[in-house]
């Protein structure tokens, strides 16, 4: 497979130098969240570069030893073992080549929306939020819940979470789509099997205002309301929650998890900018698809993955056919195999296009 966007180790080393230079600035810690994001990116690059340089050195040594080995069986056995270990390490590193998208290295903003189905659906949305938070924890990514709307009886109607870490968006974009749950509902007194759905949306974090341009005040409708989320008594007694509507596009964003209206407005603006960037990217894709004569599907579409807990245990991705019976592990955040299988599929499609 030819990786999208190619692979330039020198460019990665130059980027690491930029980040290290940025971290030495006197006012570096004035914005702690940005500073931590820069340090995580630098650590990830440093680790990646070191791993590639190590594989490069080992491959060179292997070639040189192979030329000297002759018919010595002991040396040849050692070379075969090192080749096997080197191949396994290269295969792991190769996954980084799947991230050729313009925004893949960025932090991600993930939104979960419960489908139809009442309490069963809102419970499923909460299960998915936990799954992605555990996945982020496994990767040592920082998370912040920007907004959540609780269900009437249990679970969540919706939730939006910022996930900060190198390639967070690149990995999470494999999760876009409808996720289907099949199980015996704990909310059904007759213990019947239920099928429910939730929609996952993923956005790249906007680096600065230049990417989406300034948003004039007259293009924004700002509504405030009483928070329904977590956060203590204060958020439930004041109109601290904020909903922003971008009038030209109709795109909305809201936040109600912070204690103050000002903080919620900042969080809502962060989500709105990301959605405007995504809107622009989708418009570009539609224009290209129209030029190529391709059909563009609108709406939720079919589910991308099914999580079956009854009558058998199985999680299956319908795009890649990757599946596992380890449902508990998946719901506990063990998602990398599913993400990488989908990224491989997307890379193959891009290569063949």
Specify whether 117 is located in the same domain as 196: yes
CA dist 149 and 230 (Å) reads: 9
> 2 in a domain, yes or no?
no
Specify whether 88 is located in the same domain as 157: no
Q: What is the pTM of this model?
A: 0.73
| pLDDT tens digits in sequence order for the chain, 353 residues long | 334 445 678 888 999 999 999 999 999 999 887 888 888 888 888 988 998 899 999 999 999 888 887 777 888 888 899 988 898 888 777 777 788 787 898 899 999 999 987 899 999 999 999 999 999 999 999 999 999 999 888 899 999 999 999 889 999 999 999 999 999 998 888 888 999 999 999 999 987 666 777 888 999 999 998 876 554 444 455 778 999 999 999 999 999 888 788 899 989 999 999 999 988 888 887 776 676 565 544 445 578 999 999 999 999 999 999 999 999 999 999 999 999 999 989 888 766 65
Which of 275, 336, 307 shows the shortest CA–CA distance to 136? 336
Task: Write out the two tokens for 265.
Answer: 């407005």
Specify whether 122 is located in the same domain as 203: yes
CATH number of the structural domain spanning residue 62: 1.20.58.410
- Centre a 10 Å sphere on the Cβ of residue 131 and count the other Cβ atoms it contains: 20
Specify whether 305 is located in the same domain as 203: yes
Which of 340, 5, 303 shows the shortest CA–CA distance to 173? 340
Task: Write out the two tokens for 320.
Answer: 């890649």
Q: Domain end: 243, 265, 292, which one?
A: 292
């Amino acid at each position: 497979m030819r990786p999208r966007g190619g692979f330039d180790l020198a460019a990665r080393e130059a980027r690491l130098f930029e980040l290290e230079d940025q971290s030495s600035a006197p006012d570096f810690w004035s914005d702690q969240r940005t500073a931590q994001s820069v340090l995580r990116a630098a650590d990830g690059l440093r680790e990646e570069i070191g791993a590639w340089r190590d594989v490069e050195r080992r491959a060179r040594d292997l070639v040189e030893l192979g030329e000297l080995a002759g018919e010595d069986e002991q040396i040849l056995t050692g070379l075969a073992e090192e080749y096997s270990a080197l191949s396994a390490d290269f295969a792991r590193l190769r996954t980084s080549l799947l991230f050729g998208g313009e925004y893949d290295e960025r932090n991600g903003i993930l939104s979960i929306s419960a489908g139809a189905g009442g309490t069963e659906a809102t419970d499923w949305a909460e299960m998915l939020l936990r799954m992605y938070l555990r996945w982020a924890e496994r990767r040592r990514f920082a998370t912040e819940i920007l907004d959540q709307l609780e269900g009437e009886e249990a679970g969540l109607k919706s939730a939006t979470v910022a996930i900060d870490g190198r390639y967070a968006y690149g990995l999470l974009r494999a999760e876009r789509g409808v996720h289907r749950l099949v199980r015996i509902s704990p909310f059904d007194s007759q213990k019947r099997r239920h099928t429910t759905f939730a929609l996952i949306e993923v956005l790249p974090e906007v680096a600065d205002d230049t990417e989406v341009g300034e948003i004039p005040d007259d293009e924004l409708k700002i509504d405030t309301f009483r928070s329904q989320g977590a956060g203590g008594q204060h958020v439930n007694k004041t109109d601290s929650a904020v909903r922003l509507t971008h009038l030209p596009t109709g795109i909305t964003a809201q936040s109600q998890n912070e204690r103050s209206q000002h903080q919620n407005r900042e969080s809502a603006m962060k989500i709105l900018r990301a959605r405007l960037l995504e809107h622009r990217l989708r418009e570009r894709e539609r224009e290209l698809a129209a030029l190529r004569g391709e059909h563009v599907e609108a709406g939720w579409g079919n589910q991308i993955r099914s999580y079956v807990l009854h009558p058998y245990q199985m999680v299956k991705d319908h795009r890649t056919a990757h599946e596992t019976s380890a449902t508990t592990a998946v719901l506990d955040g063990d998602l990398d195999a599913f993400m990488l299988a989908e990224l491989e599929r997307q890379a193959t499609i891009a290569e063949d296009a």
